Structure 1
Amino acid sequence: MSKELRSLSMDCLTQSQREHHEKVLNSPVKIMQVGEGNFLMSFFDWMVDQAIKKGNYNGSIALTCPLNYDGKINTLNSQDKLYTVVQRGFKGDNEIFEQDIISVFSKVFNYNVEWDTFMNIAEQESLDVVISNTTEAGLAYKNVSLENVATEGLYPGKLTAFLMHRFNTLGNISKKLLIFPCELVAENGRVLKELVAKHAEDFGASEEFKAWVNENCVFLNNLVDRIVPGYPREDSQAYFDRFGYKDEAMSMCEPFFLWAIEGSEELDKILPLKESGLNVQWLESLHDTQLLKVRILNGSHTLITPQSILKGFNQVDEVVENEQMKEYLNETLQKEILPSLKNKTGNKEEFASTVLGRFRNPHIKHKLESISMNSVSKFQNRLWPTIKSFIEDNNKFPENMMIGLAGLLRFYQISKRENGYVGYDFNGNEYKVFDTPEVLEFMENANSKFEEKNEEYVRYVLSEDKLWGEDLTKYLNIVEVVTEKLQAMEKEYEPVH
């Protein structure tokens, strides 16, 4: 039986760690971070912590949550704004276990209810960076007024109000403000800048403000890469025993990480992460890097996740260690995904090989359930471009990706319950499905409307352009192909009586 451990706090720190943390708590806020998820905390915040500890950065982060759900915020505040990042995996043949207590936050709050705190940070001349990860669904336009944006707006609207308050308070301050949207959206910097411009019109912003944004707010297209399964729920006690303290905000990640940013390396002087020896790449163009990451790594995740959940798998490493699924993924990569990238990216085979090794990391318990969130929009962004490229080259569909699309439709055969939307796998076990209300309501309606999942059902779902960005039924004989794959899938896993 494990002994009762104290929770992480300043009392758990060594004298040098305590001095470091007190210095951070009293440092000027240089970074405003919107997004308290495991990814940014194990990626960006971990990198800033490294830069501070190496003496290259003197500043702190103000953290807020994009949604009005402040569980993590409350946990961090109860732990003196401290948490632990654990890296597990391999570097070459060497097994890695690295534990870091991260000390980067001087303010942790919920801007949905503490709007004045958010506005106060906008007034700080020390501010250099705004960074976000609000998921793809958060990088969107919602028509709200300036008066209601605090309670009803999405992140782009709130950022616009934040920038307007900064301009109105400090005037035409010439200091550059770097803005990094880390949401996995192509040209995320450009997208956010356009959303801010649209909200500025809505809010009646002055021409002087718009000019200041164009001149001094640098919206940077960027790409983040690190597998972060987050809190190790099943093994947490074993880690706590090893640490000698409890940490309800701890996060697991792999050793590999990459931050590719489209912009001048001169900007590293403002946020000296590359200077601190971290894998940050300032590039003229993100195009090739984006293609590799989204089509191969993210595309593979999105391809295998729905059908793997249907087959009863729980984690990525279980899937890629299964001979049948491993063969399916390898074949899809070699025959469908990599050829679609043509010759635009030179090291695609090497990258694909690295990705499969990262998926197999036995220490990273990457839950399929967490990857399955918003699978419809992920399919649209990560897999459909590959399918279209394959059609252009071959005038037919890529077989394995059609199996993936059929698996996606089967995964979304859902019903509404008190605790959310659920489906049933091939063995009759319940699983939860997480997506936007619009997608969930449409899929539930389709499931109940068509008792038999025939061509009529497939046509109904695939023709909904609000789901896929366009009507997919206009492509070749997609309805017949997907229906055949869907029915074959059900037949293969039909219970034997």
Structure 2
Amino acid sequence: MSGRIIQFGTSRFLQAHVDLFVHEAREQGQQAGPITVVQASGSAARAGRVAAFGAPGGYPVIIRGMQSGVPVERQVSVTSIDRGLSAIRDWDTLVRLFVEDASYVVSNMGDTGYDIAESDRGPALLSGTVPASFPGKLTALLHHRWKAGGHMLTVLPCELINRNGHVLQQAVLDLAAEAGAADAFLTWLRDGVIWADTLVDRIVSEPLEPIGAVAEPYAIWVIERRPGLVPPCHHPSIVLADDLQPFERLKLHILNLGHTVLADIWQREARPAGETVREILADPAIRARLDVLYANEVLPGFAARGMAAEAAPYVAATMDRFLNPFLDHRIADIAQNHPTKVARRIGAFLEWSGRAGASPVLDGVVAGA
């Protein structure tokens, strides 16, 4: 058994995140990967991208942005991927690799990636035909692996879904049960597969053709510990944690909260329609307001929950990300669904930190939403 990773999803995010991490680990001599990228959707528009994976010279990832207040730019040729497959056209090859050679499954299937096609419900799922949905495909592949002896496998979903590992495991268990699978297979899905919840974060701002990406310097992949779990490689951006919640709080109540505060200012003060995060913060008065907000209202809230040491450097990293000179993040996009975002990013912070009524700016944003 190798350390092969079967990756579902051809997104530029994974190209500049997991795939880059594995490449850098291999460059340091680690036995990590290789990666097989699987196009799960069958989209003809992405056929060229699938064919480009595994090219001998790899593909480019350009890292551009601010790091510790200093502009950085570097380019990496990522060679951790050895082939691309289409789940529709190359199903038999995928089954063989999944059964014989895989140690990890990674996925990034988008907001609707866990939706289940009705055709995948029932005994036909395990009949040998190619299932329609990602959870259906994963269930069928795991069933093939179990029938062949059931070597241990680790599943590391990267979708932006709370408790993504738990949700995906439950979807697979439900589909297997609906298909009439043996109780022994259901037991193996619970005990013979490691399903980890993860949190990912990196802004990947631009695709390159046919594959490759432009990304910011900041990146993190937090994997919640499970018994027997070993990460696919060791990398400074990969963090094993007993609990994802502190990392989720930092992202939601510092990065996302800051975005929503800027969107609130943008709406209330009728600022330019196409203004970006970087442009609004080029206004010294707005920058000062955000700095004061973080210092006087956000950091004390984290301190009240014993997270002062984690929050202060995260605020500094967030400002680097906001000021990225290569990223045009339109505030109009951030302002979509503003009341819902205010409730989740700001209202929930005030409740969690116990600072409702003691945070004038944030209380005002909540009151006006």
Q: TM-score, normalised by structure 1?
A: 0.61
Asked if structure 2 preserves the Cα contact closer than 8 Å seen for 1:73 and 1:108, the reply is no
**Distance in 2 between residues matched to 1:255 and 1:138, nearest whole Å:** 27
Q: Give the AA of the match of 2:64.
A: R
User: For the structure 1 residues 95 and 323, does the alpha-carbon distance in structure 2 shift closer, same or farther, using more than 3 Å as the test?
Assistant: closer
How far does the alpha carbon of each residue in 1:418-447 deviate from its partner, in whole angstroms, 9 at most, with x for none?
xxxxxxxxxxxxxxxxxxxxxxxxxxxxxx
Aligned equivalent of 2:38, options 50, 64, 67: 64
Aligned equivalent of 1:253, options 215, 218, 221: 215
What are structure 2's unaligned runs of at least 5 residues? none
Q: Which stretch of the first structure deviates more once superposed, 50-59 or 127-136?
A: 50-59
Q: Give the AA of the match of 1:181.
A: P
Q: Describe how 1:58-457 pairs up with structure 2 within 5 A.
A: 59-75=33-49, 77-78=51-52, 81=55, 82-92=58-68, 95-112=71-88, 114-124=90-100, 126-140=101-115, 143=118, 144-145=120-121, 147=124, 153-168=132-147, 170-171=148-149, 173=150, 175-231=151-207, 247-263=209-225, 267-268=229-230, 271-274=232-235, 278-301=236-259, 304=262, 311-313=272-274, 315-323=276-284, 325-327=286-288, 329-330=290-291, 333-334=294-295, 337-338=298-299, 341=302, 342-346=304-308, 347-363=310-326, 365-368=327-330, 376=337, 383-384=343-344, 386-390=346-350, 393-394=355-356
How far does the alpha carbon of each residue in 1:367-413 deviate from its partner, in whole angstroms, 9 at most, with x for none?
4389659x54x97578526314536753699765875x8xxxxxxxx
Q: Does 1:44 align with 2:18?
A: yes
**Distance in 2 between residues matched to 1:370 and 1:114, nearest whole Å:** 41
Asked if structure 2 preserves the Cα contact closer than 8 Å seen for 1:62 and 1:106, the reply is yes
Cα deviation, residue 117, structure 1: 4.0
Asked if structure 2 preserves the Cα contact closer than 8 Å seen for 1:139 and 1:192, the reply is yes
Secondary structure at the residue paired with 2:20? helix
Larger radius of gyration: 1
**Distance in 2 between residues matched to 1:61 and 1:331, nearest whole Å:** 45
Q: Give the AA of the match of 1:321.
A: A
**Distance in 1 between residues matched to 2:298 and 2:114, nearest whole Å:** 27
Asked if structure 2 preserves the Cα contact closer than 8 Å seen for 1:302 and 1:382, the reply is yes
Q: Give the AA of the match of 1:291.
A: R
Asked if structure 2 preserves the Cα contact closer than 8 Å seen for 1:298 and 1:382, the reply is no
Cα deviation, residue 345, structure 1: 2.1
Indicate the structure whose relative CO is greater, using CA pairs within 8 Å and at least 6 residues apart. Answer: 2
What are structure 1's unaligned runs of at least 5 residues? 1-26, 233-246, 406-477, 483-497
How far does the alpha carbon of each residue in 1:457-487 deviate from its partner, in whole angstroms, 9 at most, with x for none?
xxxxxxxxxxxxxxxxxxxxx7xx44xxxxx
Asked if structure 2 preserves the Cα contact closer than 8 Å seen for 1:52 and 1:58, the reply is yes
Secondary structure at the residue paired with 2:63? strand
What is the aligned-residue RMSD (CA, Å)?
3.7
Secondary structure at the residue paired with 2:64? strand
Cα deviation, residue 48, structure 1: 0.8
Asked if structure 1 preserves the Cα contact closer than 8 Å seen for 2:138 and 2:172, the reply is yes
Number of aligned residue pairs: give it. 356
